[in-house]
A and B are shown apart, each in its own frame.
Chain A
Amino acid sequence: MEEMNFNYNSLRARNARRGKVFGKPSMLFVMTLVLIVSAIGGVTLIVMRMAVGWICISLAVIVLMIIYWTKKELITVPVNERRGINGLLSNDVLGAMPRNPHVKDLPAVIAKTNSGKFLHVRYGISKQLLEEVASMLPPEVGPIFQTAKKIQEGTNSEEIHGAILATSILANYPNSEMLLKQMRLEMVDILDGIVWFNYLNGLVRNMNIHRHTGGIGRDLSFGYIPTLQRFGQNISVVGKGAMRTQLHLSEHKEILAKMTEIFSNNGRQNVALVGPDGSGRATIVNAFAEYLMDADSKLPERLKYRQIFRLDAGAILSAGAERGQTEALVMRILGEAYAAKNIIIWLENAELFFEDGTGSVDISNVLLPVLEGGRMRMILTMDRQRFLEISAKKPALANALNKIMVTPANEEETMKVMQDQVPVLEYSHKVSYTIWALKEAYRLSERYVHDLEMPGRALALLDASGAYANQYKLVTAESVQKAIEKTAGVKMQQTATADDKARLLNMEDLIHTRMIDQVQAVKTVSDALRRSAAGVRNEKRPIGTFLFLGPTGVGKTELAKAVSEVYFEGEKNIVRVDLNEFVRAEDVARLIADGAEDSMSLTAQVSKQPFAVVLLDEIEKAHPQVLTTLLQMLDEGILRDSKGREISFRDTIVIATSNAGAEKIREYVNNGVSLDSVKDDFMNWLMSTEMFKPEFLNRFDEVCLFKPLSPADCLAVLDLLIAGVNKTLAPQKIGVVLNQDAKELLVQRGYDPQLGARPMKRIVQKTVENIVAKAMLAGQAGSGMTITVTREMIESELGQ
C-alpha cells in the first residue's frame, strides 16, 4: 500500500515540474538565445581584455547543461517501476499533481494531460464528468492509484497517464456501468481507448527515430531505369517523418511473411494478391516495400533494398497508340527493371493488363512468358472476381502465379485499422474523430457501401465524414450519417422525434385516411412496425416482413403504399417488383443483377434506396428458384447481388402480395366466418396446395388475410376517389360533390365481387371526371365553383 503514496518531492516529480517549465518551446528558445549571446559576448569581452567575460562563459556553460538536461531527461522523465506509483505516473501527470492530492484534484490534473484530452475529445469523458464522479468517491487517492496500476498492467501501458487515471476514477464509481451506457459506451471501450492512445503516442515517438535505409551508396550496384521512372512510381521512397505503414491484421502479417519467403526462394518470383477491393492489398504491398528498405530488418541479402515500382497502366496505354507499341514499351520497362536487379514491379489492378476494354489492354502474350519464366520479380494485385474471370479464359496465367488470397477484415480488425488511420485523416481534414464516428462508420459502411470490402469501406466512409464535422471540428456519428447520405445517396432515418413517435402510435388512423376496412390487416402491420421502431426487433432482419393474401382490388398494394407513406414519410419510398416477370429459373440473374447492368434489379434499387417498402407483387407467380433466392433476404436481411456484394434489406419493410387462396377467403367471408379465426386452417390449406413451401411462408413475420370488399366498403372507396379528384382540382379552385343517389348508382355499376375496388376507379374516371372536364370546357365551371353531380348526369354519361 505504501508504494501507492504519492510523494510530491520525489526526484521524478521534481523533474517533471522542471520539465513543465523548461520544456516549453518558448523557454527553450530563450535559453538557446541566452547561451549564444553569453558565449559570443563572453569571448568578445575576454578578447577586449575584460575578465568579466569569464562570467558570461560560465553562464553559457550552465545554460548549455540545463538545455541538455531538459531535452534528454526533463521532457520525458523515464519510468522507474521500482519506485511504485511515483515511478509510474507519466510526466504530464506528475508535473500537474498538487502537493497532497485528493480524488477531487485528479480531474483537473487529467484535463491538463494529452491522454486526458484524448479521452475527452474522442470518448466524451470530460473534466466536468470526472469532477462529478470524483465528488462521489472517498477523498483518498490510494484506491484510484491501485486500480490505475491494474489498468496499466492490463493495457500493457508503459506508464500511468491521464487516461488511465480517468478510467480508474470511473472504475471506482459503483454506477459507472450505467453512466457509460448513457454515453453509449462500455468499460471495454475506454480500455480500448487507452490502448489506442498508447499506440498513437508510440507512433509520434517513432517518427523522431532516424530510419536506416541504406544511405547514399545503396543503389550504386543497381542499374539505371529511366523508362521505368517515367511510367512507374517508386513506392519504396518514404518521406522524412512519415508514419510507417502498420499491419494490424494477423492475416496480413502472415501474407507479408509468405511474400518474403517466395521472393527469397528460387521458385517463380511473383506474387498475386487476390482479394476484393478495400481488403488491404495495397497496404500489404506498401508495408512490404517499407520492410525491404529497412536496413535493420533480418532480410536475406538478395531482397534487401529491393524497390517496388507501381506501373501506371494509364500512362503506359496512352504512350503506346497501337497495341504493338504498348507491348514494346512494356517489354522495355520490364527489361530495364530486370537489368537493374533491384526492382520489383507492381501491377496494381493487374486485370487492366490482361483484358481489352476501356482503359485496359490485353498484353498477356508479353506478360505471360515473363511470369512463367519466374525470374522477373513481380507483384500483381487483382480483384477476386476479375481474377476468376481471367483465369477461366487464361488458365496458364493462374498456373504461373503464386496466388495469395486476401480476405476482408472483421469488426475488431477494422476498428484497429481505422484507429491507425485517424491521425492521417485528422491531419488532412483538420478535425478530430470521436469513437462514435468510428463505430458508426463501421456499421453504416457495412450496410450501405457495396463497392469496397472491409476495412477499405469503413475507411472510405470515415474519410468522407471529415467534411461533415460539427462546429467544434469534431467528427461524430451524425457526421458519418451525413456523409453516407451524400456519398451513397442513402437517406438516413431519424425515428426518435416526438412527431415520429406520434405517427407510429396513430398508424392505424393515418392508414385508414386512405384505406377502407381491412382493419385486422392494418392492425397486424401497425403492431409489428411499432414493435420494430421501439427496438424490439432483430437488427439482422428487415424491419418487417409481411405476406398479404386476398382477392384482387381489396387494398393489398394500397396498404403497402400507405405503410411507405406513414413509416418512411413518402409514398415514393417504395421498391416495386412484379414477380410475374420472374417466372423462369434464369430470371434469378435479373433479380440480383449488378446496378451497372440493370438499374431496375431488386438489389440495385434497394442499394440506392435502403429505407423503403419492398413490394413483391404476385409472388405466387415467381419461379421456385426466385423464391429460394428471396429466403436469405427474409431471414437475414441481406441479398447477394451478381457481383457477390451483400445488399442490406435491414432497413426495409418487405411486403409480398398474392391472390393465392382468394376463392377460399371469399368462401369463408360468404359463410360469415371471421378470417382471424380460420387463419391457421387457411395457412395449412395453402401449404397443402404446395403453392408455397412451408419454409417460405414461415419466413414472414405476419401473414395478413384481406377480405373481399362489400358494396358498403365500395361506397367509402368512392368517397376516397372523389376526395382524390377534388385534390387534383384544388389548384383551379373547383370542387366536386356527388348526390347520394349518384353515389349509389356508381357503386351499383362499379362493384364487382371478383375485382374489388378496382372497377370503381375506372367508372369514376369515365363518369365524374368526364362531367367535370366537359363543364370546365363549356365554361360552366370556373374558379370558386362547386359542381354537383346528380344521378341523371351519371346515367347520361353512361349512355342511358
Chain B
Amino acid sequence: MFMVDLLQWWYFRGWGVFFSGLKTKLGDTADLFSIGDMFRTLFKPFRQISAGASGSEALDAKMAQFFDRLISRIVGMFARLTIILAGTVVLILELIFGTILMILWPVVPLLPVCGIVLMIMGVTF
C-alpha cells in the first residue's frame, strides 16, 4: 500500500507539485537578478552621478555634467546588461535542468527496477 500510494502521488499530484516548484524557482531567480527592472531602467544613470545638479551653472559646467551623466548612463547600461546576461544564463540553465527533470520525472520510479536488471546483467563501468 505504501509504494502504491507513493507511486500514485508521484504520477499525479507530485508531478504538478514539482512543476509549480519549478515556476516559483524561476520567479525567484528573475527577482534575484531584477531582470524586469534592469530592462526598464537600462539607460538610466548609474547611481545618479550628477543628478543633484541644479542646472544654473555655466555652460562648461553644464557640459561637464552632461558628459558625466552620459558616461554614467553608459556605465549603468553595461552594469545592467551584465546582470541581465548573468540572470538569463542562470534562468536558462534552471529551465533546461527543470525541463529535463520534468521529462525524466515519470522514469524515476522505474530506475530501481532498471538497477536490479542492470545488476542481474552484471553491467559495470
- Which chain A residues have a beta carbon within 8 Å of chain B's beta carbons? 11, 14-15, 18, 46-55, 57-59, 61-62, 64-66, 68-69, 72-73, 210, 212-218, 220-224, 295, 301, 305, 335-336, 338-341
Among B1-55, those with CB < 8 Å from A are 1-2, 5-6, 9-10, 13-14, 17, 21, 24, 27-28, 31-35, 37-38, 40-41, 44-49, 51-52
- B108 cross-chain contacts in A, Cβ below 8 A: 61, 64-65
**Which of A46, A59, A214, A295 is close to B124, meaning CB atoms less than 8 Å apart?**
A46
Report if A61-B112 is in contact (Cβ < 8 Å); known contacts: A46-B124, A49-B124: yes
- 19 interchain pairs, CB-CB under 8 A: A18-B2, A18-B5, A58-B112, A59-B112, A65-B109, A69-B6, A72-B17, A73-B9, A212-B27, A215-B33, A220-B44, A221-B41, A221-B45, A222-B48, A223-B49, A224-B48, A339-B48, A340-B48, A341-B48
* Interface footprint category on B: 35 or more
| A23 to B: closest C-beta gap in Å | 15
B79 close to chain A: CB less than 8 A: yes
Whether the pair A51, B118 counts as a contact (CB closer than 8 A) is yes
**Which of B35, B115, B123 is close to A58, meaning CB atoms less than 8 Å apart?**
B115
| B16 to A: closest C-beta gap in Å | 10
Residue of B nearest to A47 (CB): B125
Whether the pair A69, B14 counts as a contact (CB closer than 8 A) is yes
Whether the pair B14, A339 counts as a contact (CB closer than 8 A) is no
Whether the pair B116, A55 counts as a contact (CB closer than 8 A) is yes
Residue from A49, A64, A73 having most chain B Cβ neighbours under 10 A: A73
Whether the pair B111, A15 counts as a contact (CB closer than 8 A) is no
- A221 cross-chain contacts in B, Cβ below 8 A: 41, 44-48, 76
Whether the pair B34, A338 counts as a contact (CB closer than 8 A) is no
Whether the pair A216, B83 counts as a contact (CB closer than 8 A) is yes
Whether the pair A339, B52 counts as a contact (CB closer than 8 A) is yes
A48–B125 Cα distance when bound, in Å, is 8
Whether the pair B123, A54 counts as a contact (CB closer than 8 A) is yes
A214–B35 Cα distance when bound, in Å, is 9
| B31 to A: closest C-beta gap in Å | 4
Whether the pair A220, B41 counts as a contact (CB closer than 8 A) is yes
- Which chain B residues have a beta carbon within 8 Å of chain A's beta carbons? 1-2, 5-6, 9-10, 13-14, 17, 21, 24, 27-28, 31-35, 37-38, 40-41, 44-49, 51-52, 76, 79-80, 83, 108-109, 111-116, 118-125
Whether the pair A69, B111 counts as a contact (CB closer than 8 A) is no
Residue of A nearest to B48 (CB): A223
A338–B48 Cα distance when bound, in Å, is 10
Whether the pair A212, B115 counts as a contact (CB closer than 8 A) is no
Whether the pair A214, B5 counts as a contact (CB closer than 8 A) is no
| B88 to A: closest C-beta gap in Å | 13
Residue of B nearest to A66 (CB): B6
- B116 cross-chain contacts in A, Cβ below 8 A: 54-55, 58
A758–B16 Cα distance when bound, in Å, is 95
**Which of A46, A69, A223, A305 is close to B9, meaning CB atoms less than 8 Å apart?**
A69
Residue of A nearest to B32 (CB): A215
Residue of A nearest to B113 (CB): A58
A117–B79 Cα distance when bound, in Å, is 53
- B21 cross-chain contacts in A, Cβ below 8 A: 72
- B32 cross-chain contacts in A, Cβ below 8 A: 215-216
Residue from B27, B48, B114, B120 having most chain A Cβ neighbours under 10 A: B48
A220–B39 Cα distance when bound, in Å, is 12
Report if A220-B46 is in contact (Cβ < 8 Å); known contacts: A61-B108, A65-B109: yes
Other than the given A15-B5, A216-B34, A221-B47, 13 more pairs (CB < 8 A) read A18-B5, A47-B124, A51-B124, A54-B116, A54-B123, A65-B108, A65-B109, A217-B79, A218-B34, A220-B83, A221-B41, A223-B47, A339-B51
- A46 cross-chain contacts in B, Cβ below 8 A: 124-125
- B48 cross-chain contacts in A, Cβ below 8 A: 221-224, 339-341
Whether the pair A214, B9 counts as a contact (CB closer than 8 A) is no
A53–B121 Cα distance when bound, in Å, is 12
- A336 cross-chain contacts in B, Cβ below 8 A: 52
A341–B72 Cα distance when bound, in Å, is 15
| A37 to B: closest C-beta gap in Å | 16
- B115 cross-chain contacts in A, Cβ below 8 A: 54-55, 57-58, 61
A281–B83 Cα distance when bound, in Å, is 38
A220–B109 Cα distance when bound, in Å, is 47
A217–B76 Cα distance when bound, in Å, is 10
- A51 cross-chain contacts in B, Cβ below 8 A: 118-124
| A220 to B: closest C-beta gap in Å | 6
- B109 cross-chain contacts in A, Cβ below 8 A: 65
Residue of B nearest to A222 (CB): B48
A336–B121 Cα distance when bound, in Å, is 73
Residue of B nearest to A217 (CB): B34
Whether the pair B125, A217 counts as a contact (CB closer than 8 A) is no
Report if A65-B6 is in contact (Cβ < 8 Å); known contacts: A58-B115, A215-B32: yes
A11–B2 Cα distance when bound, in Å, is 10
Residue of A nearest to B119 (CB): A54
**Which of A50, A65, A212, A220 is close to B79, meaning CB atoms less than 8 Å apart?**
A220
**Which of B13, B27, B33, B49 is close to A73, meaning CB atoms less than 8 Å apart?**
B13
Report if A65-B10 is in contact (Cβ < 8 Å); known contacts: A214-B37, A220-B80, A221-B45: yes
A223–B24 Cα distance when bound, in Å, is 31
A354–B61 Cα distance when bound, in Å, is 37
Whether the pair A212, B37 counts as a contact (CB closer than 8 A) is no
- A48 cross-chain contacts in B, Cβ below 8 A: 124
- B40 cross-chain contacts in A, Cβ below 8 A: 301
The 7 A-B pairs at the shortest CB distance, nearest first, are namely: A339-B52, A58-B115, A223-B48, A58-B112, A215-B34, A217-B34, A54-B119
- A57 cross-chain contacts in B, Cβ below 8 A: 111, 115
Residue of B nearest to A73 (CB): B9
- A11 cross-chain contacts in B, Cβ below 8 A: 5
**Which of B9, B37, B51, B113 is close to A218, meaning CB atoms less than 8 Å apart?**
B37
Residue of B nearest to A224 (CB): B47
A215–B87 Cα distance when bound, in Å, is 11
- B2 cross-chain contacts in A, Cβ below 8 A: 18
A535–B59 Cα distance when bound, in Å, is 85
| B98 to A: closest C-beta gap in Å | 14
| B56 to A: closest C-beta gap in Å | 15
| A47 to B: closest C-beta gap in Å | 6
| A373 to B: closest C-beta gap in Å | 13
- A65 cross-chain contacts in B, Cβ below 8 A: 6, 10, 108-109
Residue from A46, A305, A336 having most chain B Cβ neighbours under 10 A: A46
- A220 cross-chain contacts in B, Cβ below 8 A: 38, 41, 44, 46-47, 76, 79-80, 83
A59–B111 Cα distance when bound, in Å, is 10
| A341 to B: closest C-beta gap in Å | 6
| B54 to A: closest C-beta gap in Å | 10
A340–B48 Cα distance when bound, in Å, is 6
Whether the pair B47, A54 counts as a contact (CB closer than 8 A) is no
Whether the pair A341, B51 counts as a contact (CB closer than 8 A) is yes
Whether the pair B124, A53 counts as a contact (CB closer than 8 A) is yes
A295–B32 Cα distance when bound, in Å, is 11
Whether the pair B83, A217 counts as a contact (CB closer than 8 A) is yes
A448–B120 Cα distance when bound, in Å, is 82
Residue of B nearest to A49 (CB): B124
Residue of B nearest to A304 (CB): B37
